[in-house]
Structure 1
Amino acid sequence: MSEQGRPRILVTPRSLTMGAHPDLAPLRMAGFEIVTATPGQLPGEAELMRLLPDCVGWLAGIEPVSAAVIAAASRLQVVSRNGTGIDNLPVEEMRRRGIRIATAGAANAPGVAELALALILAGLRHIPLGDRGIRGGDWPRRRGRELRDRRVAVIGCGAIGGEVARLLVALGAEVVGFDPKPRDLGLAPDHFRWVELDAALATADIITLHCPLQPGGAPLLDARRLAALRPQAIIVNTARAGLIDEAAMLDALERGAVEAYATDVYAEEPPRDLALATHERVISTSHIGGFTDESVARATRIAVDNLLAVLAPKVAHAG
């Protein structure tokens, strides 16, 4: 409890720690004190272990969470993610402790899908090359390619991947998809079809990743699969850094086997090893897929509602 006797909720997403977000107000109105991590930074283990022990709820971001952090959170009842992924959480330890886990569903799907599309177009038209060249006093003109009639493989067709597929179809691309659990995306079969993973990877001009990590954490795109790609392949990753074998990707870029790698995700954020992030064939963005006004607001509202669904009845009963 705080000095005022109000139960505490920790808020750690970088999109919410830079200033008071209006969609956090219902937590205060329900009688909770909001505690935030260092503004604009992913909290590390030491900071989490300092902040969490007195908190009953946690509105969490993508920060890695160890079992030791959960062990130190003696009062924690619920963790509410402002996104869909939970592979940064020690799920088994949390279940053992009876700590609830809630996610924000498809809140950031439009924002991430639009960024993926922007990265595809930037790779096809060499936009970063032109921007850097003109700023440096040059006039680079590398011939690009058009998206229309290009084959794009969407790997993972949940809320985000499905939205990417719909955007691509609307722009005239030939879209194939892979997902362990295929579902109806509302797309006509002459515009979209399901294929097996290796067939999707080996026959596409563009590959865009929207899937979780593989069991055990092995990269999805390893040296073998990168070697099997079509010439001039463009790869977009707005999902997980661990889906890519970074050493194999660097080698493929150096050899020209991959035309461009566009990524919004990194093993460490911000990355200290810049060999891949700053390569001339890499387009890098700073994990901004869901960082739009609309996505942040949607995700925050859902995450707050999830916290209140678990905690508010208990506070009312205690009162």
Structure 2
Amino acid sequence: MNRILITPRSLTSGPHPQIDRLRDVGFEIITSTPNALPSEAELISLLPGCVGWLAGIEPVSPQVIAAARDLRIISRNGTGIDNLPLDDLRKRNIAVATAGGANAGGVAELAVALIFSALRHVPAADAGIKQGGWPRRRGRELRGRHVAVIGCGAIGGEVVRMLSALGARVLAYDPAQPDLRIGADRFTWMDLGTALREADIITFHCPLQKTGKPILDAATIATLRPGVLIVNTARAALVDEGAILAGLNSGAIESYATDVFDEEPPKDLTLARHPRVIATSHIGGFTDESVERATSVAIDHLLAALRPMAKAHVG
């Protein structure tokens, strides 16, 4: 009854020295299948006897929580918790902790990189040259473009700062309108519908809507500027992938750059293989720096909650 489960792919793919902090106070560490999202069946088999769980983005069902009879805390190495059955966790008094903005820099940099890649058709040029061609598609510059940043928390706020410094005209949407500590002349707060309609580029950095419905569906896409670029490093369910595909085929959407899919890795590659889709494999926070920060914070939360138990066990 002194186990901690580790499931993030960034930590199961190889040893991480931060994990030794848990072993040093007497916890037994178990891990899920290396470099893979654990299935419901695997989680149900691993969690009995675990008092702590350093969790990733894997979907967690009520059945998983029911099997976690000894669990006291789930500590995420990221910010999102919409993969967790929060009502079930509350009923069991299982604490949930997140790593705040630990991976904000990595995700924000990837979002900006995807924007540039889409504007300048970088993947298409690279693939064409490697196939013996010399493709030259005319690109567009970021300076002066209207960029809607949807969600301006730790990640989105960093994206706003980067884009405004690069000369983009940022249209920011966030119900909380946090203090971004940059001059109001460098960005404009807008309601969601207006920001989407006026944008040349849309980048998502927000949780799912309470309704669970996507922000971008066929009806919303019909209101966007022709040739819009869409970047999604947040959550696949923020968009209707079928509507995105239809928009790409019709030309309403110029490019879709995504780091997230409904199923990871996706078995249906129809969207990923589209010539105007730029696809990455959920690598937003997968940098040396982000993994280090997020792991350190996640373990801090585990130790704060479980150290008294560890000391009692050791004693």
Q: TM-score, normalised by structure 1?
A: 0.97
Counterpart position of 1:30: 25
- Structure 1 position 315, deviation (Å): 2.2
Structure 1 segments of 4+ aligned residues over 6 angstroms from their partners? none
The amino acid that maps onto 1:230 is R
2:249 maps to 1:288:
no
In structure 2, C-alpha distance between the alignment counterparts of 1:24 and 1:61, rounded to whole Å: 15
Following the alignment from structure 2 to structure 1, what is the Cα–Cα distance between the partners of residues 260 and 163?
A: 21
Out of 260, 263, 266, the position equivalent to 1:268 is 263
Q: Which residue of structure 2 lines up, in the alignment, with residue 80 of structure 1? A: 75
Aligned partner letter, 1:201: L
Matched, 1:186 2:181: yes
SS at match of 1:215: coil
Among candidates 294, 312, 319, match of residue 307 of structure 2: 312
Give the alignment of 1:218-257 within 5 angstroms. 218-257=213-252
Q: 185-194 or 108-117: which moved more?
A: 185-194
The one-letter code sitting in structure 1 at the alignment partner of 2:57 is: I
Describe the SS at the equivalent of 1:216: coil
1:1-319 matches, within 5 Å, as 1=1, 7-318=2-313, 319=315
How far residue 196 of structure 1 moved from its aligned partner, in angstroms, is 0.6
Per-residue deviation at 1:216?
Answer: 2.6
The residue type paired with residue 190 of structure 2 is: V
Shift of 1:79: 0.4
Secondary structure, aligned partner of 2:184: coil
Q: CA deviation at 1:189?
A: 1.8
Moved more, 62-71 or 18-27: 18-27
Counterparts of 1:191 and 1:169, CA distance in 2? 6
Hey, what's the Cα distance between the residues in 1 that align with 2:143 and 2:20? Answer: 45
Query: Per the alignment, in what secondary structure is the counterpart of residue 101 of structure 1?
Result: strand
CA drift of 1:116 comes to 0.1
TM-score by length of 2: 0.98
Could you tell me how far 1:193 is from its partner in structure 2? 1.1
SS of 2:211's equivalent in the other structure is helix
- SS of 1:212's equivalent? coil
SS of 1:117's partner is: helix
Distance in 2 (CA, whole Å) between partners of 1:115 and 1:167 is: 11
Where does structure 1 lack aligned partners over 5 or more consecutive residues? 2-6
CA deviation vs aligned residue, 1:71-117 (integer Å, no higher than 9, x gap): 00111110000000000011100110011100000000000000000
- Work out the CA distance in 1 between the residues paired with 2:180 and 2:258: 25
CA distance in structure 2 between the partners assigned to 1:205 and 1:315 by the alignment: 53
Q: Which amino acid aligns with 1:313?
A: P
Q: Secondary structure at the match of 2:202?
A: strand
Q: Distance in 1 between matches of 2:60 and 2:312?
A: 31
Name the SS for the 2:300 alignment partner: helix
- Secondary structure at the aligned position of 2:206 is classed as coil
Q: CA deviation at 1:278?
A: 1.2
Per-residue deviation, residues 101-138 of structure 1 (Å, max 9, x unmatched) = 00000000000000000000000000011011111111
SS at match of 1:217: coil
Aligned-partner Cα distance in 1 for 2:168–2:241? 28
Gaps of 5+ in 2: none
Aligned partners of 1:135 and 1:244: how far apart in 2?
A: 32
Quote how far apart the aligned CAs of 1:277 are. 1.2
Shift of 1:317: 3.4
**1:190 partner SS:** helix
Quote how far apart the aligned CAs of 1:303 are: 0.3
1:211-250 superposed Cα distances (whole Å, 9 cap, x missing partner): 0011131011011111111121100000000001111111
